[in-house]
Structure 1
């Protein structure tokens, strides 16, 4: 599957900004089953300095510095990406108890090592209600792949997809208690629940097919950057993506941009600037199949 992607992010500031520094995480990755074919990033105002980099988790970063006064920022990323992910045999994966034991013993310190995705992170905190929620569905003798898909389906069935009811700063405990939110909330809830029972889980940010194939329903979360969960299925099967917003595996409908412990590791734009008053933000995504 080949897709053309377009991401546009805009900011309007209430007063002029000078000496703005930003870190962008908007370029799709070349990773398992996914290849970045072409990519172009346009930033207005044009940066005085720009440097490409990789973070600890292997995500593509762009460090930019804008010195002149400006009252807005525009970031446009266009890319062509080829996606061809094999569907994992979920029934052939180790059982949950085996994965828990292997994860506890793992000492791989690379960015995709399971040890980094077991405990608290900046946004995700382990909690008794979320741990109990996972334990109700996930049993030790289940193949972990099947258990993760079933857990994704439970979240999809019991939570309302409700844009505007939460923000990026809404605590995941609030979204869990209210049983509503958007893809970011559902990903954080699933991650916290899985870590609570000792299973490594990572936050994935990316794109979701905007227009479904003929005869198939439109997926939730397609109009903005999407979020789902990577779960470690053991050393032989590695990491696999599960989308609790749509109760599905993350396969050829999903394009990965960044992976981290939670949203704080993968936010599309971080930065340091000085202004006064609230800023306005616009955000649009398009993902078209071209081959």
Structure 2
């Protein structure tokens, strides 16, 4: 699939910002199965300094310093991306038990090595309740790919997708106890549960194509940044995506922006600024398949984000 993607994040400050330093993680990343053919980033007001680099995990990072006093800021990213991930034979993956043994025996320390995604991180930590949740769901003798997809489907079924029920800083244990939240919560629950068992799991942020119901046009700007989980399925299969919010594999409708240990590694925008009072923000994403005509009757449902 070929996509045109437009992201816009805007901030309105009640009092002027003296100066601001931001870290942006909004550019789609190039990786196996995903090719970025064009990308542009615009920040308003124009930054006094701007540096683009890659972080330890290979994510595209933009550091911007805005020195002029300002009462609003807008980030606009546009990209063209080609996605073509191969099908995954779920039954050809090692058993859950074998996967755990292999992961703990791995000694590589490259950024994609499973060792970085087994222990606690800033937001995700092993908890007996979550480990027990995974142990109850995963058959140690079953193929890991099939077992983990079934686990993602279980989370999708048992948790309520409820925008506004949680905040970015809502503790993981609270989201798990309440069995509700948004894609960030679903991903963190799945990661913590899998790591508790010894299965390497990473947090992925990105964009997802939304598909209109039969007879309806695709809504421009209706998409949002999404989160899902990448799981290491052994050296042969490598990392593959699982979307617990929708209970599906992350295939060609998912566009990866950044991957890390949890949300704190991949937040779209971080930074420090000098101002007073609360601010308001707006966030919109449009993921448009290139060559797609907005004809009715193409799809079945709108994925939850």
With the shorter chain as reference, the TM-score category is: over 0.9
1:113-128 → structure 2 map (5 Å cutoff): 113-128=113-128
Q: 1:57 to 1:215 in 2, by over 3 A?
A: farther
- Alpha carbons of structure 1 residues 13 and 198: separation in structure 2 relative to 1, 3 Å: same
Q: Distance in 2 between matches of 1:265 and 1:187?
A: 14
Counterpart in 1 of 2:297?
none
CA distance in 2, matches of 1:77, 1:128: 41
C-alpha displacement of 1:214: 5.7
Structure 1 position 140, deviation (Å): 1.1
Q: Deviations over 1:218-265 (max 9, x none)?
A: 9xxx73100000000000100000000011000001000000000000
Match of 1:109 in 2: 109
Show the counterpart of 2:64: 64
Superposition deviation, residue 213 in structure 1: 8.2
Corresponding position of 2:206: 206
Aligned to 1:264: 264
Distance 2:251 2:215 in 1: 18
8 A contact 1:210–1:286 mirrored in 2: no
SS in 2 for 1:53: strand
* 1:32-86 deviation per Cα after TM superposition (whole angstroms, max 9, x unaligned): 2000011111100001111110000000011111111011110000111000011
Indicate whether 1:235 and 2:235 are aligned: yes
Q: Distance in 2 between matches of 1:43 and 1:253?
A: 27
In the alignment, is the contact (CA less than 8 A) between 2:15 and 2:276 conserved in 1?
Answer: yes
In the comparison of the two structures, how many residue pairs are matched? 287
Q: Pairwise mapping of residues 126-141 of structure 1 onto structure 2 (< 5 A)?
A: 126-141=126-141
Does the Cα contact within 8 Å between 1:211 and 1:288 map onto a contact in 2? Answer: no
| DSSP 3-state at the match of 2:125 | coil
**For the Cα contact (< 8 Å) 1:210–1:288, is it kept in 2?**
no
1:127 Cα shift?
0.3
Q: Name the SS of the counterpart of 1:193 in structure 2.
A: helix
Contact 2:5–2:80 (CA<8 Å) still a contact in 1?
yes
- Structure 2: which 5+ residue stretches go unaligned? 292-305
SS of the residue corresponding to residue 6 of structure 1 reads strand
CA distance in 2 between partners of 1:170 and 1:89 (Å): 36
TM normalised by structure 1 equals: 0.96
The CA deviation at 1:19 is 2.5
Q: Distance in 1 between matches of 2:32 and 2:96?
A: 23
- The answer to whether the aligner puts 1:286 opposite 2:286 as a matched pair is yes
Distance 2:102 2:249 in 1: 23
Counterparts in 2 of 1:15-94, with a 5 A limit?
Answer: 15-94=15-94
Correspondence for 2:152: 152
Which position in structure 2 is the counterpart of 1:175?
Answer: 175
User: Contact conserved, 2:187 with 2:227, CA < 8 A, in 1?
Assistant: yes
Deviation at 1:210, TM superposition (A): 2.5
**Runs of 4+ residues over 2 Å off in structure 1:** 210-216
CA distance in 2, matches of 1:15, 1:273: 12
RMSD: 1.5
Per-residue deviation at 1:212?
4.4
Q: Determine if contact 2:223/2:287 at 8 Å carries over to the other structure.
A: no
Distance 2:142 2:158 in 1: 21
TM, length-normalised to structure 2? 0.92
1:214–1:128 CA distance, 2 compared to 1 (3 A): same
Partner of 1:143: 143
SS at match of 1:121: coil
